[in-house]
Amino acid sequence: MNKFLFSLLILLLAAGCTERINVNLDSTYVRLVVDGGITNDSMQRSVTLSKSASYFYNQPPPMVSNATVILSDGSFPDTLKEQLPGHPGVYSLDPAFRGVIGKTYSLNIKLPEVIGNSSEYSSTCKIMKVARLDSIQTEFDANMGKSGRWLIKIFAQEPGDEFNYYLLRYYRNGILMSDSIQKWGTSDDKFFNGSYIRGLTAFRINNANYWETLHPGDTVKVQMSGITKEYYDFIRQVQQAGYQIPFFSGPPANVEGNISNGAVGFFFAYSDSFATQIIPK
């Protein structure tokens, strides 16, 4: 009985010393989010503007409409048009636009309102060379795990005139399978600068994953992009932080983009090379 009373007294004292602590996790500093850019082909020529949202915000990010978005290569500026009414906050160039390898492009944004203490933002990015993909090869590795895995290997000539960085994505039957930044592949040319890339494994696909696995008769296409070191570093940082693009909430502060005045995200410009294979039956 005495032990019971003593235990009850301790519990009452502990309860009397407990103070409720309210932690506000559902608020954040609102910033402009920039996601998009241009390439030397028709794959990409738009920029999406939105506002960063709270971490627990379970709705699509608020889009930013009625902005003036101008792209320039130092000579002739192009104004990106907002895709209204169907795609507010998405600003696109003319379908005939193609970026030029070696040119540096600047992006200037003027907002109809102040976001993150500014209404004007800017960025620059250069279109780098890309290794020319000659072909790709798919192989099935039955010795990996219970179900095995597919390997996608690339064959390409590396330019070799400077230190280069690459982004790799793949498509199956016309559908982008590298559909999030966590599934993108990146590489530099440290070990093959100026050499022929002969059968480098770019993707390893778990055969047990029905959505991602490959099948005989599938058409597989690899997209290899020549990117800047800044974009390479940005992708690696976002992957390590576990965030997606576009950002539904602001990424960690140590993920550095290339947009001025504290905006989040990256304006990219890169060149592309493609190769396709139909998996033999």
Mean pLDDT rounded to a whole number for the chain: 86
Q: Where are the domains of the chain?
A: 32-128+244-269, 132-227+271-278
Segment 249-263 shows an average pLDDT of 76
The correct CATH number of 32-128+244-269 out of 2.40.50, 1.10.3470, 3.30.70, 2.60.40 is 2.60.40
> Tens digit of pLDDT for each residue in 56-104?
556 788 999 999 999 999 888 999 999 999 999 999 999 999 999 999 9
Q: What is d(CA 164, CA 187) in angstroms, rounded to the nearest whole number?
A: 9
Segment 129-137 shows an average pLDDT of 95
Residue 255 pLDDT > 70: yes
CATH dotted code for 132-227+271-278: 2.60.40
Q: What is d(CA 47, CA 36) in angstroms, rounded to the nearest whole number?
A: 4
The residues, any chain, with a CB within 8 Å of residue 245's CB and separated by 6 or more, are 35, 180, 181, 238, 265
Determine phi and psi for 80, rounding to 5 degrees.
Answer: -80, 135
Of 141-150, 187-196, 242-251, 259-268, which range is least confident? 242-251
Residue 252 pLDDT > 60: no
> Tens digit of pLDDT for each residue in 188-236?
998 888 899 999 999 999 998 888 899 999 999 999 999 999 999 999 9
Q: What pLDDT sits at residue 210?
A: 84
Question: Contact at 8 Å (CB) between 70 and 77?
Answer: yes
Q: CA dist 31 to 45, 88, 148, 164, Å? A: 23, 18, 44, 31
* Residue 236, both tokens: 């690696």
Q: What pLDDT sits at residue 267?
A: 97
Determine phi and psi for 132, rounding to 5 degrees.
Answer: -80, 115
Q: How many residues does the chain have?
A: 281
The owner of tokens 């597989």 is 220
Q: What pLDDT sits at residue 15?
A: 44
Q: What pLDDT sits at residue 243?
A: 63
Q: CA dist 13 to 16, 73, 166, 275, Å? A: 5, 71, 62, 72
Segment 41-70 shows an average pLDDT of 86
The owner of tokens 């699509």 is 60
Beta-strand relationship, 32-39 and 264-278:
parallel
Q: CA dist 276 to 98, 164, 179, 208, 281, Å? A: 22, 23, 18, 23, 16
Q: What is d(CA 46, CA 37) in angstroms, rounded to the nearest whole number?
A: 6
pLDDT confidence band for 254 (50 / 70 / 90): low
